[in-house]
Structures are given as C-alpha cells and as structure tokens.
Structure 1
Amino acid sequence: MAIAHEHGGNVFAVARNLGLAPERIIDFSASINPLGMAPGVREALTASLDRLLHYPDKGAAELKQALAAYHGVDSSSIAVANGSTELIHLLPRTFPGRKALVVAPAFAEYALALERAGWQVDYFLLAPDDDFVLRLPELAQALGAGYDMLFLCNPGNPAGNLLPQREVAGVIDLCRESGTFLVLDEAFIDFCEEESAKHLVLGNPRAVLLRSMTKFFGIPGLRLGYAIAAAETVAQIVAQQDPWSVNTAAQVAGIASLADAEYCRRTRSYVDGERVRLAAALADIPGLRVFPGRANYLLVRILREGVTAGVLRKALLAKGMLIRDCSNFQGLDQSFFRVAVRLKEENDLLLRALAAELA
C-alpha cells in the first residue's frame, strides 16, 4: 500500500488554514528542542550579517572542524549538508544498487529518496505489540534475500525506541556479511549521545551515519545536517553535492550551537526528566498506550474504539495544539499519534486537553 510522504512541523500551512498566526499554535507535531536554540546562536547570527555579502564557504571548513572536535573524529570523515534530508536523497544516487530494505515504521523520506532514484523499496516491519524491538536474527534472515541498502533510524522515528550500541554493532556486522550498504540515521541520538555508533562506522566504507542539527539544536529553519563515515565514503558523497548547499547562516549557527556545552547538558537533563513525566501522565489517561522512548517525543496508541488519531488531531487543533497523526507511517494505522516533549506548562495543556477528549 502506498504511503503518503507527509511530515510533522507543517505549522505554517495549518495556521494559514485556520486563519491564525503560527505563534498561536503549540506544535507537538515537530520534535524540536523545547528549550529553543542555544543562547549564543542569535548573537552569532547577528554578528555574521555582513558575511551574507559573500558566497558561503563551499566546504564549510570551520563547521567541519567544530563537528570533528565535538565528535572526536577527523574532519575528513564529515560531510555537511542542507539538513540530513539532502543526504538521504543523495545516497541512493551516489552508491550503486537497486533493492533497499527500510526498517519501519520510519521517516517517509527514505522511501521517497529511493523511489526517485529508481530503487525497489521493501519494509522490515517492527511490531507494536513487541514495542518495536528490532530482532537481529529476523533482520539477518531478511537481508539474506539480497538487499543493496538498509535504512535504519536510531532512536526510531516515530516509535522513539533505542537500539543499544552493541545491537547496532550487530546490525553493522550483518550488513557487512550480506554486502548491504548501511544508512544509519541518528537524527535524534543527541538526546542519548552515549549510544551513538559514530565510531563504529569509520572503518567501514559501506556504512554512513546521518546526523541532524534540526532537532537537538533547535534550528530547523536553517536546514543543517551532516554525515559521519569513512573518508572515502564522505568523498563520494561530497562529489555529488550541489555547490553552496549549506548557507552562511546555517554554518554560523552550527558552530555557535556546538560551542555551548552547558546548553547541551541542560537540554539532555530537561528532556530526559520531562519525557518521563509526560509518558507517565499520558499512560494515566484511560484509553491511551504510551510506547517507551529515548528521544524528545513519544508515540501513543489510542485504545478507545471509535477514536482515531485524525479525529483527535482535529479536536486538539481547535484548542490550538497540533499533534502528529501517524497513520501514514508504514506499519501504523489510525490509532497512532506522536507528541513532542515541550515545556512543562505546554505539556500540561496537552494532557488536560487529551483527558477531556477521551473522558
């Protein structure tokens, strides 16, 4: 069955349809750092305005150095891009193959990028009744059918479940044995950085790790992401990029974000605590099942007959809150929705509204 390629975070379109200013809507559909961008970003952007008179640094050398220092890798192992979505679309056109496997439910852009490049797309579906756990023996069996590329997101999106680093190492081994190119999307791993597999991919020219600065660093409007991979793999990716795909403002904001270690610490502490609180409160609402997650969002299933995510989305939107209807994710149905972890007072508004709608 074809799945619509839609995303959360479409607050501007929603606001236009409602005749409201976007600021009047509390957007739980996009999983962005609830603390906003790092304090130094605004100042850095203001100070860099005169740089806009020049073309951006094509190689983003200063940003690559900052990322290399942040992750403890060599800058030759980093490719900077206009959001990780640029990389998702580049990869099927850069590396040869015809048949790909996507661990699902998953970000719709994986399939869209593959389809546009002429690939066949199959899905390895994870089960809600098993909390979307990835079982390596079953994955090994699936890869045995002969796949040229595997897409895996960790933590999962929209499920939020985290595959421990040792299990990711197992996936890397399976892909190596089957000759499958691994695309490991760590768009939300910043919230549990200790589980990143960044050092596991560096010695493997048939693997690439994707990172995003949209979510954790709260700058989705600037479009900034990057890949970490073996130097030869990075060189192949960079050779396919359009010139100046990363603008000056994005580069400046990225450098300023990475420099603020206290902001990173405070973000992880806040999101961890508030996610646990929000999950417990959601689970206390009759008719909802909350799935365990390690990112800054939670996947929820409606257990009440006659209530769908679409119906709930519409009702909450009337109250100025936008949730993510997950029915268009491969493997999910109309009973699933996702909510971002936002500020406590905003989360409390959502909780009261959900309790009222499901009363």
Structure 2
Amino acid sequence: MIQGHGGNIFGLAEQLGCRPEEIVDMSSNINPLGALPGLIDHLRGRMDRIRVLPEVDARSAARAIAGLLGVAEERVLAGGGTTQFIYAACAALASRKVLIVGPTYADYADGCRVCGIEPDFFLAEAKHDFALDVERLAAALSGYDTVFLCNANNPTGHLVDHGALLSLCTRHPRVRFVIDESYLPFAPADRSHSMSGCGLDNVAVLWSVSKIFGMPGLRAGFLVANTPVIDRFRRLMQPWSMNSLAQEAVRFLGTDLEAVAAFIDRTRAYLAEEGRRFRQRLQTGRLILYPSATSYVLIGLPADRTATTVCRTLAEQRFLIRNCANFHGLDEGFVRIALKDAAVNETVARHLLAAVGEKK
C-alpha cells in the first residue's frame, strides 16, 4: 500500500510538533467551497444511525447516485470509496495484462499488484502538457485486456475529449476500460464528458462523492457499469461496505438534485476565477503551470529545485502540498497544489515563489 497520498496532515503535524488543525492541506483535491450546504447539519441529526447496522448493500445510496447521474439504478454499485473498486478490479475482471494511462494515481498499480499483476504504463509527456494522444494509445492496446484511465486525470488535470474516449472504447470491445471520473465534476460540462451513460459492456466508471462534495472521510464511492460487470464486482463485495453515516450523506445528495447542480456550478465558477488568479500570480518564468480542468494544478519546478525541498519549505510555513515524485512518470521536478480560498491561494503562491528563488 502506497503511503504517499495527499492529505496526510497527521503525519506532518507529528513531524512539526503542531496540531493537525494548524496545517493548511493543499495536497488533497477536495472542493475548496467545503461540503455541500446542509450536509453536516443533516449528519448531526442522524448520529443515532450508528447504533444500528447500515443497509447491507447501500442500495438506497446507489439509488441516489443513479438519480444524480441519470442512469438506471441497476447499473450502480455502492462501496467504501472508489478505492475498494480499484483494488477489486483485476479480480472482478479476471485481468491478465493491464495497461495504466499515466502519469496518474498510484493505487491503480497497487491494485494490480495485489492480484499478482505487474502493470505496464502508457505515459503522456510534459512536452505536450501531459495531453493524452488517444490514437497513440489505441495503437498500444494490442495484448492488453484491461486499461485504467483517470478522466479528468490526477495529478495532471488533463481532460480527455469525450468523443475520442467513446470512440476508443467502442473500437476495442475486447479491452475492459476502468475509467475513474472522481474529478470530472470539477470540469466544465462534466455530464457531456462522462462515460457513465455510454452503455458499453467493456466500460466500468468509478464515481466519487469524496472530492466534489467535500466528504473524503466518509469513504463512499460507486461503480457504474452494465449488469454483467456489476455482477462480477458484486461477488467480491463484503457486506456493509459503506457505513451508516456515509449512506446518510449520499441519500442527502439525492434529496435535492437542483441544489446539488447549483453547488457544482458554483464550484466550477469559483475554480475558473481562482485558477486564473493563481496562474497569473505564478507566471514568473521559473515555474511551469500545466493546463488543468480540475481543482488542482500540476507545477513544474526549475532545475535547481526539488519537490522534496520545496515541500519541506512550505511545510515549515504550515502548508502541505503534494510531492509528485512517487507518481510513475513524474519525478522530483513536480508538485501539485489544490486551490483553496483566495487568501490562502495568495499566501501559498507567495511562499512557493520564495521557495524557488523568485521575488514575492
């Protein structure tokens, strides 16, 4: 299990000898607007639910997400975070040879290794702003039965064109595509980019409520696929995979779809404006800010700085950013920063510029 995820404020607090609350976590890609309005109060009023077992299969939570995504209920399976499905994917799909489109989230590779599979990687390149060449990927699929692809991608923020991705999956029906859309709600017009409604038998979509709705601690995630794929995963699911409060939170999302849509729209508008300001603040020549359709920015460091030293410098100021050296295909030349409120974004930009030798 990889230990280098973002969001480890507890480990950093221990190193610095401070309280976790003193650290500003810009390493974890969570909605800067916080949780969906009303969600926390709703959960406070449902705390007694921990005294009884939750729904064994979280069916009502799956129904809520089906309504949100506009797909049939039987095409949605609920679990304890998308991580549960990532680690079950190779066993559920009887994978033998796996290709991971990167640089991307390390758990896809770890999930393969749990099943005794050493995956191969198809890497987008910095010189092309980490944009995925779909046709080059198509030419590389020979011999592979399973492909992991994150869209919008973590950590690069790149969004693959929906038409190109749909064409790729359609042209290769013998390849199973596991498409992680955990960050897609941050991107403009996410519904038009989602593969959740494509109806292809070889596509399994991972959908998360953790990032966009600001509830990663509850561990709730979903698989969207046609019934044969759902059945394959269902056989590997443990009972009560989603706890009572997580189920309550997801059901709350399903009670007012208009409010959910408005919250997502506000989030996108905020990110568009703050992302513009943040990029403008850091465009000094020493840093490379790669295009992103999400809440986070992948940043290339100057040759005389390393991610380890830059992250350490910012940590001393109580800012936690993501060292990208443990992403396959990246190295000590890259960090990732997730946007917060305007004041925090301005402050971390000032510290980052100072860390790479630029004037504040």
Distance 2:290 2:88 in 1: 32
1:64 maps to what in 2?
Answer: 62
Distance 1:98 1:313 in 2: 38
1:255 maps to what in 2?
Answer: 251
For residues 206-232 of structure 1, the C-alpha deviation after alignment (integer angstroms, 9 at most, x for no partner) is 210001111111001111110111122
Are the equivalent residues in 2 in contact too, given 1:169–1:200 (CA < 8 A)? no
Are the equivalent residues in 1 in contact too, given 2:125–2:131 (CA < 8 A)? yes
Percent identical: 32
1:12: how far off? 1.1
2:340 maps to what in 1?
Answer: 342
Say whether residues 1:275 and 2:292 are aligned partners: no
Say whether residues 1:11 and 2:6 are aligned partners: no
1:199: how far off? 4.3
Q: Give the alignment's TM-score, normalised by structure 2.
A: 0.94
1:4: how far off? 5.8
Tell me the secondary structure at the aligned position of residue 103 of structure 1: strand
1:190 maps to what in 2?
Answer: 185
Give matches, 1:132-143, under 5 Å. Answer: 132-143=130-141
Between 1:345-354 and 1:255-264, the stretch displaced more is 255-264
Distance 2:209 2:271 in 1: 16
Amino acid at match of 2:236: Q
Residue of structure 1 aligned with 2:81, choices 80, 83, 91: 83
1:169 maps to what in 2?
Answer: 166
For residues 234-282 of structure 1, the C-alpha deviation after alignment (integer angstroms, 9 at most, x for no partner) is 1221221011010010011122234332322222221222122212222
1:200: how far off? 4.6
2:149 maps to what in 1?
Answer: 152
Residue of structure 1 aligned with 2:48, choices 47, 50, 54: 50
Distance 1:298 1:163 in 2: 16
Distance 2:306 2:138 in 1: 35
Between 1:7-16 and 1:257-266, the stretch displaced more is 257-266
2:297 maps to what in 1?
Answer: 298
Say whether residues 1:118 and 2:116 are aligned partners: yes
Distance 1:112 1:175 in 2: 25
Distance 2:65 2:288 in 1: 38
1:20: how far off? 1.0
Tell me the secondary structure at the aligned position of residue 38 of structure 2: helix
Amino acid at match of 2:288: R
Number of matched pairs: 351
Distance 1:200 1:69 in 2: 12
Are the equivalent residues in 1 in contact too, given 2:296–2:339 (CA < 8 A)? yes
Distance 1:314 1:186 in 2: 31
Residue of structure 2 aligned with 1:316, choices 314, 317, 327: 314
Tell me the secondary structure at the aligned position of residue 143 of structure 1: coil
Are the equivalent residues in 2 in contact too, given 1:186–1:196 (CA < 8 A)? no
Point out 4+ residue stretches in structure 1 off by more than 6 angstroms: none
Residue of structure 2 aligned with 1:226, choices 201, 222, 228: 222
Give matches, 1:177-216, under 5 Å. Answer: 179-192=174-187, 193-202=190-199, 204-216=200-212
Distance 1:130 1:338 in 2: 18
Q: Which runs of 5+ in 2 are unaligned?
A: none
Amino acid at match of 1:271: L
1:102: how far off? 0.2
Change (3 A) 1:226 1:279: same
Distance 1:5 1:125 in 2: 22
Distance 2:98 2:251 in 1: 34
Tell me the secondary structure at the aligned position of residue 326 of structure 2: coil
Are the equivalent residues in 1 in contact too, given 2:24–2:319 (CA < 8 A)? yes
2:98 maps to what in 1?
Answer: 100
Amino acid at match of 1:245: S
Give matches, 1:230-249, under 5 Å. Answer: 230-249=226-245
1:197: how far off? 2.5
Distance 1:267 1:197 in 2: 18
Amino acid at match of 1:181: R
1:307: how far off? 0.7
Tell me the secondary structure at the aligned position of residue 36 of structure 1: coil
1:285 maps to what in 2?
Answer: 284
1:131 maps to what in 2?
Answer: 129
Amino acid at match of 2:139: Q
Are the equivalent residues in 1 in contact too, given 2:64–2:253 (CA < 8 A)? no
1:129: how far off? 0.4
Change (3 A) 1:159 1:207: same
Distance 1:269 1:255 in 2: 26
Are the equivalent residues in 1 in contact too, given 2:100–2:120 (CA < 8 A)? yes
1:87: how far off? 0.5
Amino acid at match of 1:211: W
Distance 1:170 1:241 in 2: 31
Q: Give the alignment's TM-score, normalised by structure 1.
A: 0.94
Q: Which runs of 5+ in 1 are unaligned?
A: none
Distance 1:49 1:200 in 2: 34
